[in-house]
Amino acid sequence: MKITFYGHACIGIEVSGKHLLVDPFISANPKASHIDINALQADYILLTHAHQDHILDAEAIAKRTDAVIVSNYEVAVYFGNKGLKYHPMNNGGSWQFDFGKVKLVNAIHSSSFPNGSYGGNPVGFVIESEHKNIYISGDTALTMDMKLIPMRTKLDLAILSIGNNFTMDIEDAIIAADFVDCDKILGVHFDTFGYIEINHEEAKKKFFNAGKDLMLLEIGESITL
């Protein structure tokens, strides 16, 4: 499984010969100006909620690649009404796709489209593939519901929001890592704008002191599990 960070909360995942793209917000992110959305591959686009900084480039990429939008019912149908392929889900449900199983788990946040219309419940994703399992928290507060995840799935990586103000901060993300029983963490949702700027070295040190490995990738950088 190859995972690439495209800035903010956008992650690319290559698994079982398929390309997944999570929460594509690239074209309006100055920090990701070197990423060409027209060069990205996508068989599936997973969206955690309806906020613009998570769905901005979904339509354009899905139209070009014929990708399937996977999200909560409201978000999936919104894109389906635009003529795109979609697979609607809801919290607690799971589905076996050709790359692995996806389960929607709870996230504590808000969810509305850029025009203010209702975007359904925000979610996180647990992805179980043939060899590796990952958790994508989405935008969320720390929640006791995270403790349910390791009851069903042994994680190899947790992708956690860490930027504070709109989501968990570093201290809460460390607790979240304990809750999901995973010591390998990829941080997202940080540094994009002033509200969520973090001190990288301090963040890594706090995770290290808690016995965990926090990875903060450069935009366009990849890791392999």
Two tokens at 120? 């359904």
In percent, the amount of the chain with pLDDT more than 90 equals 99
Angle formed at CA 188 by CA 85 and CA 102, multiple of 5 degrees: 40
How crowded is residue 195: how many other Cβ atoms within 10 Å of its Cβ?
A: 9
Identify which of 30, 24, 52 has the alpha carbon closest to the alpha carbon of residue 193.
30
pLDDT tens profile 162-185: 999 999 999 999 999 999 999 999
DSSP category for residue 48: S
**pLDDT for residue 131:** 86
Distance between CA atoms of 147 and 150, rounded to whole angstroms?
Answer: 6
CA 119 vs CA 69, 73, 109, 113, 165: distances in Å: 14, 9, 11, 6, 21
Quick one: tokens of 39? Answer: 């060069």
Tell whether the model's pLDDT for residue 225 goes beyond 90: yes
| pLDDT band with cut points at 50, 70 and 90 for residue 132 | very high
- The answer to whether the beta carbons of residues 67 and 43 sit under 8 Å apart is yes
Q: Which two tokens stand for residue 91?
A: 């919290």
* Average pLDDT taken over every residue of the chain: 98
**Strand stretches in 61-193, DSSP E:** 68-72, 85-89, 94-97, 100-106, 123-128, 133-136, 157-161, 184-188
Helix/strand/coil for 166 = coil
Looking at residue 130, its pLDDT comes to: 85
Report whether pLDDT(55) > 90: yes
The reply to whether the predicted model has a pTM over 0.85 is: yes
List strand residue ranges (DSSP E) for the chain, in order.
Answer: 2-5, 11-15, 18-22, 44-46, 68-72, 85-89, 94-97, 100-106, 123-128, 133-136, 157-161, 184-188, 213-215, 222-224
